[in-house]
Amino acid sequence: MADRTVLVVDDDPDILSIVEQILSFEGYNVLTATNGLEALDLVEQVRPELILLDMRMPVMDGWQFVGRLRAYRDSPVPLLVMTAATDARRRAREVGADGYIAKPFDIEDLLEKVRQHVDAYA
Amino acid sequence: MSSDTPPSARRPGAAAPSEARYYDGSVYPGLKSEPIGEGLRTFARLSGWPVMLAAGNWLGDVGINLTLYNAILLVSLVLVLATQLLFHVHLRCCGVDVLPPMLDIATLFVLSWLSGGIASPLSSAYFLFAIVDTVGLRVRAAVAIAVGYSLSYALVDVAQVGGFRVSDFQAHSIVLHVLYLLWTVVSAGLLAGILRTATRRARAAAQENAILYERSVRTSDDLRSVLNSTENGIFMVDTDRRVRFVSRQMGDLVGTDLSDAVGRYMPVLIRDVLRERFKDPEGFERRLLDLYDHMDEEAVDELEVVGTPPRLLSRYSGPVRDETGRLLGRIEVYSDVTEARAAERLKDEFLSLAAHELKTPITSLKAYAQLLRRKPIEQASPKLLTNALVTIDRQATQLTLLVNDLLDVSRVETGHLYLRLEDVDLSRLVRDLVERMTPEGTGHAVVLEAPEEVWVRADPARVEQVVVNLLTNAIKYSPGGGEVKVSVRRQGDEAVVSVSDRGIGIPKDKLPHIFERFYQAHSTERYSYGGMGLGLYISREIAQRHGGRLWVESEEGRGSTFYFALKAGGREDG
């Protein structure tokens, strides 16, 4: 299953844990990070097929993370912004993400979007 | 006309080319030397003024200087006519509706000529009545005729009774002269009165004008003071675009001296002084000149003024009109809306932050609910079930806390934060809390130092809320873990709870703001430790409601210590 790795970045441990469970049930390999810095460390070691990214986080926020990621990686990794902000679409555009998942989300919607992007990549 | 003449009345040597007769028909001798012919005498009988001339001749015969008489007559005639004229003007000025003076006088003369010999006393009586009221002409004329006839014939009768022989002419003449004299005196008096009234009125008008002028000057001074007392900067230009008024605050608002701006040509003032004060000089100049080109337009917009810090001004611009609607120029009213806009922005940011914070627990709740429905509960693993239940419980609690914070803010703002005071052992309260709250798996160690009972009179739920808030913050802002030290002790007449962490601390420039509503020292739009920036604001309110204090000592990078002090006293002190 190494070709179906999803990296989830969120500072709320509960959300991290539930997204991890949902995706694991569907057979994805899930990596988690609570801020941008941890996520960058992981990306250095593993190349995920998709990143689900919360924007407002301590230590390193989503914007900084995307900036560093782009500088570091030549080939782009699909990125979905996962945010509770009212203007989720704008946030996604700001960092050049491939889409967004507005919190609170429906599990079906989350899975549909993840499936779409991982499959598109594969 | 009989020809016998009483010898006593005859003058010696006087011929009688024409005859004037007495009432009883005897010839009046005085008229023998009279130059007027018979036709003229007939004419004289038919008119008022010739009667007077005849009377004048008669007077001349009895030795009165005719030139003097005629002069007096002329003067009195002019006086009477002038008075009549002035009197009419006067009445008209007073608002009394009278006939135009010329018409009145013309009527009089027509009456005079038509009524023959009796016209003169009639006209005099007419004048007399004209000054006392404005009764209709016909009434006046009727009364005047009656009076004139009665007077002259009464005089003839009286004279006869007294043994004098008096002709119609003489009787009319005497009545005429008496009335004329009376009328001349009345006229002179009236004229003097009218002149005096006119003078008084002119003087009063001048006084009134002076008062009005002074009042208008004072009003305009007052208005200037009023305009200068508002916080607004006000510019007024006339239709020639010259500055008519500039309020004192205007200069302060744009940060330049405008005390000598009045009278200057506005486009020049904009170019030389004003435009550089605005962040967008071209835009400012273009817009304002455009507004001056459309004097009638009203507009409201906002402008940024350069300076430290830059200020945001709101501008109303519109036409100035007087009471009749005539355009006097244009006014611009500038007001500083920097603080108002900042407060609005803070509120907006807070609302979006609160929504964000509320959505986070809802996300977990909704996701677990859906997960358990997808995977029927009987098929779910015990681990998943436990996870779900624990998380749902925790997030529901979190949601409750957030909602409580929002309610508390509203209570604080409306002054409805009430306390239920009782005797509380602060040491015991804090000890229970620390036991309950010590976090697991975060690498934090909470160390409590509460050696003795410390009693306070307080609302235990609210005190607990403050301590929980301080503890939560200590853990939240020392993400690397470490020791959190909590102590409870008596210090003077205060009971003090202190909470110290070795976390990230608070930058010096942010220290003064951390107790402000919505303030988060370590949060930006992107970077967040969570929370709504309400905890310390509510905590300080609670402390102050108790008559206590809440303060902080902190060093960036080394940690913070918060102190919560309440007035000591309660059970142990009795």
A chain contacts of residue B355, beta-carbon cutoff 8 Å: 84, 86
| Closest residue in chain B to residue A86, using alpha carbons only | B352
- Looking at the fold, whether B451 and B407 belong to one and the same domain comes out as no
Determine if residue B531 is left, alpha or beta; phi over 0 gives left, psi from -120 to 50 gives alpha, anything else beta.
left
Residues of chain A contacting residue B363, judged by C-beta atoms under 8 Å apart:
12, 15, 84, 103-105
Q: Are B152 and B21 found together in one domain? A: yes
CATH number, position B403: 1.10.287.130
pLDDT at B90: 60
Together in a domain, B531 and B451: yes
Give the CA-trace dihedral at B184, B186, B191, B195, to 10 degrees: 150
Give me the number of domains chain B comprises.
4
| Count of domains observed in chain A | 1
In a domain, B205, yes or no: no
B197-212 pLDDT tens trace: 778 888 888 888 888 8
Q: Is residue B442 less than 8 Å (CB to CB) from chain A?
A: no
Mean pLDDT, residues A21-27 taken together? 88
* Cβ contact, residue pair A84, B395, below 8 Å: no
- Domain identity same for B445 and B541: yes
Instruction: Output the pLDDT for position B113.
Output: 47
Mean pLDDT of chain A: 84
Residues of chain B with pLDDT under 50: 1-18, 30-51, 113-119, 121, 131-135, 138, 573-574
The beta-carbon neighbor of A106 closest among B365, B370, B387 is B370
Do both B569 and B505 map to the same domain?
yes
Residues of B in contact with A86 (CB under 8 A): 352, 355
B397 touches chain A (CB under 8 A): no
Contacts of A25 in chain B (CB under 8 A): 375
Given a cut of 70, is residue A20 above it in pLDDT? yes
Identify the residue among B350, B351, B370 best suited for mutation to test binding to A, counting A beta carbons within 10 A and taking the highest. B370
B178 and B123 co-located in one domain: yes
Among B310, B336, B362, residue at a domain's last position: B336
Task: Tell me the ipTM for this assembly.
Answer: 0.86
- Interface A–B counts its CB contacts (< 8 A) at 78
Confidence (pLDDT) at B123: 54
- Whether residue B544 sits in one domain with residue B401: no
Tell me: do B373 and B494 sit in the same domain: no
* Residue A121 maps to a domain: no
Tell me, what CATH number does B237's domain have? 3.30.450.20
- The three-state secondary structure class of A31 is strand
Residues 6+ positions from B528 with CB-CB distance below 8 Å? A11, A56, A57, A58, A61, B520
Return the CATH number at A10.
Answer: 3.40.50.2300
Q: Chain B contacts of A58, Cβ < 8 Å? A: 479, 522, 527-529
Q: Is residue B167 located within the same domain as residue B80?
A: yes
Q: Is residue B206 part of a domain?
A: no
Asked whether the beta carbons of A22 and A113 are under 8 A apart, the reply is no
Q: Which domain holds residue A37?
A: 2-115
Q: Is residue A55 part of a domain?
A: yes
Last residue of a domain, one of B282, B313, B336: B336
Q: Which pLDDT does position B401 carry in this prediction?
A: 87
Q: CB–CB of A113/A97 below 8 Å?
A: no
Query: Are B95 and B133 within one domain?
Result: yes
Residues B50 and B184 in one domain: yes
Q: Helical H runs in B94-167? A: 101-114, 119-132, 137-161
Tell me if B326 is assigned to some domain: yes
Asked if B152 is an interface residue toward chain A (Cβ–Cβ < 8 A), one would say no
Q: Considering the domain boundaries, does residue A120 fall inside one?
A: no
Identify the domain containing residue B238 by its residue range: 230-336
Q: What pLDDT sits at residue B321? A: 92
Which of B367, B383, B412 terminates a domain? The answer is B412
Instruction: For residues B370 and B329, state if they share a domain.
Output: no
Tens of pLDDT, residues A66-118: 888 888 766 678 889 998 877 778 888 888 888 899 888 999 999 999 988 88
Q: Which whole-number Å values give the CA distances from B337 to B256, B258, B342, B345, B517, in the listed order?
A: 19, 21, 8, 12, 20
**Contact criterion met (CB < 8 Å) for A61 and B362:** no
Mutate to test the interface with B, among A56, A57, A59, A87 (most CBs of B within 10 A): A56
In a domain, B210, yes or no: no
**Nearest CB to B356; choose among A18, A58, A85:** A85
Domain membership of residue B77 (yes or no) is yes
